[in-house]
């Protein structure tokens, strides 16, 4: 057998709330059931619980069956308690707590003697794991991966069934935003022979890259878990992932001491390399093959990588593959409507796709290491990544978590820099600088190919703090032009706008509403540290040494409600809302970040009762000029202001606003906004009509309320009821309303300013999924999704 890595996500039992965990069955024993004792069918509950109400022959009381990823926090009810979370309302007014997961599984007799490990991509937050009553360990970070070797404590074949029990304590937060609760990332069961590639055991670099060739250097650590020395022949084959063709190979061998490891170094020459970039995210793969002294293949290990070069300069910004590239980034937390932080892989990719459509090329994982599947999606789709360490912490635990992030991520071509911390209280102090220098040194030792940075909020220049990293991140450096002034004072400093704008807007809202907690979409409301999107982007255009900006944030996120607290449950910072519906500012960024012709009119044109009042009409565009017409009457043509917007004050009358965009005096684009009539029908707009039937794939269905003529009603708030039949399940709903207290785990949702969202996941069965949407007084809509 060679390596297998199988999903361990299905068929868990979950109990919300604390219970005593029995880790020994016999009095005076600490190791659980002995290997010689049989575990009969149904008796497994006895080693996991001491709850006397448990019936060992059935699903225990107050337990539910779940599949991972799972976030139990999103399933709760909102409570107006500002003490929830590490800061007022930071958890989004949802209570956290403690939960317990249990899974029963079999291990074949033939697996005896192999190395079998259980790997968790992320558990929020403190987790303790027992297997067959044996305490495996505790992991306190909610954002880093961890694994346990189960080989010694498993039951093989007729020795009995195996039980893994995971207790998750999420009562304490790591951050000040919504973090969720539970096993919210994937879990994997990996089996290898005792001679195998070590965990995260390959490191691929491309130190020499030209148009005609690239050196691919591969360092492979092979682990020998036998009690005697072992000979290994290691072969590294580089494969073009797009074509599947091998483009080069190298082999070497040697003896590895017992219970030890050895690193083998190979260099493979790739001719005419295809370079990775956001526009051409070409990927390669190293296939590592281990043979024992008899020539038998005992392990095969796959490593995805890309060939590209990065360079950061003091005065000209960033260069990718030798060409200048402005970083057009967004900061993002990890949640999404309907699922909390337990994002299926498809939702992760969907978010990246939305950002790319807007023109973004960089994703800052704020303020923690990203899930592995997000890095995979960024590699595949072409999104550069600033991967961020959670804390400024050089304790053994802090260094361990940093190393986990580095070893796991360093082969991803999407990652262009490592961020050591964000806005820590010790910034600008001598002690803070010592800690930061230690983190930076550890990072350079593990991965010397990428620069380190830190996202600094204050005290940039105190205590030698800024000198401890390669690139100085300026969070909101536009305050008193500190970033520009620092460039004059420190001309040899490499800089980046690591966090910018922080402008608050509510989708579809054009006036301040303090009662409901809404702010206008014009972008006129921002905190003291923030600025408008136009100011943030103009600073970069005028000052190339700033390298680029990373906007706070790509999406609204739960928790940290800003600028209002209750009834608001999430922030208003996003360029898109929690469902991924664009706000008006989305089109500003698209107009300056892409070469695609853009023409956008705001606001909507439904202002009944305000006839004759002046309505501020704003245009975002990258055309040369724009003409605005109301009911076929021209309101004039204006020359487009670079990196800005156009505005008209228009006396309201119902009808149709038309914007016409011109290039070189030729009309190339036309957009209309019409007054909609009363709600009449539902429109269902799936992102795809065919999905995998693997029980994991998800279709994202945007739901709109329209009038009889098909125009979206921009003020509609009708409640939509969803009914599903066939090979799918509704896993969540949302509407982007920052003050909605409706459950995300439901089959119904009110529209917010014309839109809501439903997420449907395949259930593993072949066939079709039929989704029906209905609402009182509206025409029903049904769509069919094929599963393949």
Query: Does residue 433 contact residue 468 with C-beta atoms inside 8 Å?
Result: yes
Please enumerate in sequence order all residues whose Cβ is within 8 A of that of 645, keeping only pairs 6 or more positions apart, or say none: 534, 588, 618, 619, 620
**Cα separation of 321 and 584, whole Å?**
33
SS3 content of the chain, % helix, strand, coil (to 5): 15, 40, 45
Q: What angle do CA 596, 601, 607 make, to 5 degrees?
A: 160
| C-beta of residue 191 within 8 angstroms of C-beta of residue 13 | no
Whole-number Å distance between alpha carbons of 326 and 316: 10
237/78 Cα distance (integer angstroms): 53
Q: Of the residues 75, 353, 423, 467, which is catalytic?
A: 423
d(CA 716, CA 707): 10
User: Nearest CA to 539 among 355, 322, 326?
Assistant: 326
In what order do the strands lie in the sheet containing 260-271? Answer: 195-209, 213-224, 260-271
Q: How many Å apart are CA 785 and CA 402, to the nearest integer?
A: 42
Does residue 560 carry a catalytic annotation? no
| CA atoms of 640 and 659, how far apart (whole Å) | 13
C-alpha–C-alpha distance, residues 320 and 503, integer Å: 29
Taking the C-alpha atoms of residue 555 and residue 589, their distance in angstroms, rounded to an integer, is: 13
CB count within 10 Å of CB 636 equals: 9
Q: How far is CA 165 from the centre of its chain?
A: 27
423 classed as catalytic: yes
Bridge partners, 422 (sequence order) = 455
Report how far residue 173's alpha carbon sits from residue 90's, in angstroms, rounded to the nearest whole number.
9
Q: How far is CA 677 from CA 609, 707, 752, in A?
A: 14, 5, 17
Q: To 10 degrees, what angle do helices 533-542 and 584-593 make?
A: 10
Q: From the candidates 179, 223, 427, 499, which is the catalytic residue?
A: 499
Active site residues: 423, 499
């Amino acid at each position: 057998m060679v390596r297998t890595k199988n999903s361990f996500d299905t068929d868990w039992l979950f109990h919300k709330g604390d219970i005593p965990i029995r880790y020994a069955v016999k009095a005076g024993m600490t190791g659980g059931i002995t290997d010689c004792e049989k575990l009969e069918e149904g008796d497994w509950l006895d080693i996991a619980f001491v709850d006397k109400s448990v019936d060992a022959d059935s699903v225990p009381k107050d337990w539910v069956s779940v599949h991972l990823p799972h976030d139990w926090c999103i399933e709760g009810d909102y409570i107006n308690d500002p003490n929830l979370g590490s800061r007022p309302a930071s958890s989004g007014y949802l209570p956290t707590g403690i939960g317990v997961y249990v899974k029963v599984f079999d291990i074949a007799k033939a697996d005896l003697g192999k190395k079998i490990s259980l790997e968790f991509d992320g558990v929020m937050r403190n987790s303790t794991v027992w297997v067959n009553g044996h305490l495996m360990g505790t992991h306190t970070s909610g954002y880093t991966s961890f694994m346990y070797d189960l080989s010694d404590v498993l039951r093989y074949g007729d020795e009995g069934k195996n039980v893994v029990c995971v207790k998750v304590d999420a009562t304490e937060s790591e951050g000040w935003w919504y973090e969720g609760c539970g096993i919210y990332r994937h879990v994997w069961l990996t089996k290898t022979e005792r001679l195998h590639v070590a965990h995260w055991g390959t490191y691929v670099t491309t130190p020499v890259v030209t148009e005609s060739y690239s050196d691919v250097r591969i360092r492979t650590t092979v682990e020998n878990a036998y009690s005697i020395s072992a000979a290994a022949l290691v072969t590294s084959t580089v494969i073009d992932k797009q074509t599947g063709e091998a483009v080069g190979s190298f082999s070497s061998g040697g003896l590895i001491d017992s219970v030890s490891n050895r690193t083998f170094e190979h260099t493979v020459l790739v001719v005419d390399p295809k370079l990775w970039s956001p526009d051409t995210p070409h990927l390669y793969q190293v296939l590592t093959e281990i043979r024992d002294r008899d020539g038998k293949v005992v392990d095969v290990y796959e490593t995805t990588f890309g060939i590209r070069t990065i360079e950061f300069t003091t005065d000209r910004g960033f260069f990718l593959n030798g060409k200048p590239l402005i970083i057009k980034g967004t900061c993002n937390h990890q949640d999404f409507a309907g699922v909390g932080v337990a994002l299926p892989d498809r939702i992760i990719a969907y978010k990246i796709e939305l950002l790319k459509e807007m023109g973004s090329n960089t994703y800052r994982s704020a303020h923690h290491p990203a899930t592995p599947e997000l890095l995979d999606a960024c590699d595949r789709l072409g999104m550069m990544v600033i991967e961020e360490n959670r804390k400024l912490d050089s304790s053994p635990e802090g260094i361990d978590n940093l190393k986990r992030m580095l070893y796991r991520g360093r082969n991803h071509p999407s990652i262009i820099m490592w961020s050591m911390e964000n806005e820590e209280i010790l910034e600008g102090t001598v002690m803070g600088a010592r800690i930061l220098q230690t983190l930076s040194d550890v990072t350079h030792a593990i991965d010397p190919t990428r620069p380190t940075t830190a996202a600094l909020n204050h005290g940039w220049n105190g205590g030698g703090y800024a000198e401890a990293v390669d690139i100085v991140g300026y969070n909101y450096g536009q305050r008193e032009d500190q970033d520009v002034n620092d460039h004059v004072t420190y001309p040899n400093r490499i800089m980046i706008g690591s966090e910018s704008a922080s402008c608050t807007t509510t989708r579809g809202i054009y006036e301040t509403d303090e009662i409901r907690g809404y702010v206008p979409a014009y972008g006129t409301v921002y905190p003291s540290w923030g600025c408008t999107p136009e100011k943030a982007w103009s600073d970069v255009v005028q000052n190339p040494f700033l390298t680029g900006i990373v906007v706070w944030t790509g999406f609204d996120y739960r928790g940290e409600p800003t600028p209002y607290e209750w009834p608001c449950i999430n922030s208003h910072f996003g360029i898109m809302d929690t469902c991924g519906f664009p706000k008006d500012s989305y089109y500003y960024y698209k107009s300056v970040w892409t070469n695609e012709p853009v023409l956008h009119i705001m606001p909507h044109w439904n202002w009944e009762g305000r006839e004759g009042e002046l309505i501020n009409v704003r245009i975002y565009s990258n055309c040369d000029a724009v003409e605005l017409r109301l009911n076929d009457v021209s309101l004039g043509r204006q020359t487009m202001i670079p990196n800005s917007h156009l505005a008209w004050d228009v006396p309201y009358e119902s009808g149709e606003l038309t914007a016409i965009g011109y290039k070189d005096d030729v009309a190339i684009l036309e957009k209309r906004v019409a007054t909609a009539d009363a709600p009449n029908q539902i429109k269902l707009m799936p992102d795809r009509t065919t999905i995998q039937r693997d029980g994991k794939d998800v279709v994202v269905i945007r739901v709109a309320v329209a009038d009889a003529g098909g125009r979206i009603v921009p003020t509609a708030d009708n409640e939509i009821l969803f009914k599903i039949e066939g090979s799918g399940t509704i896993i969540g709903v949302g509407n982007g309303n920052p003050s909605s207290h409706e459950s995300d785990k439901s089959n119904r949702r009110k529209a917010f300013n014309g839109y809501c969202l439903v997420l449907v996941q395949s259930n593993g069965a072949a066939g079709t999924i039929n989704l029906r949407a209905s609402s009182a007084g509206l025409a029903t809509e049904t769509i069919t999704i094929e599963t393949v």
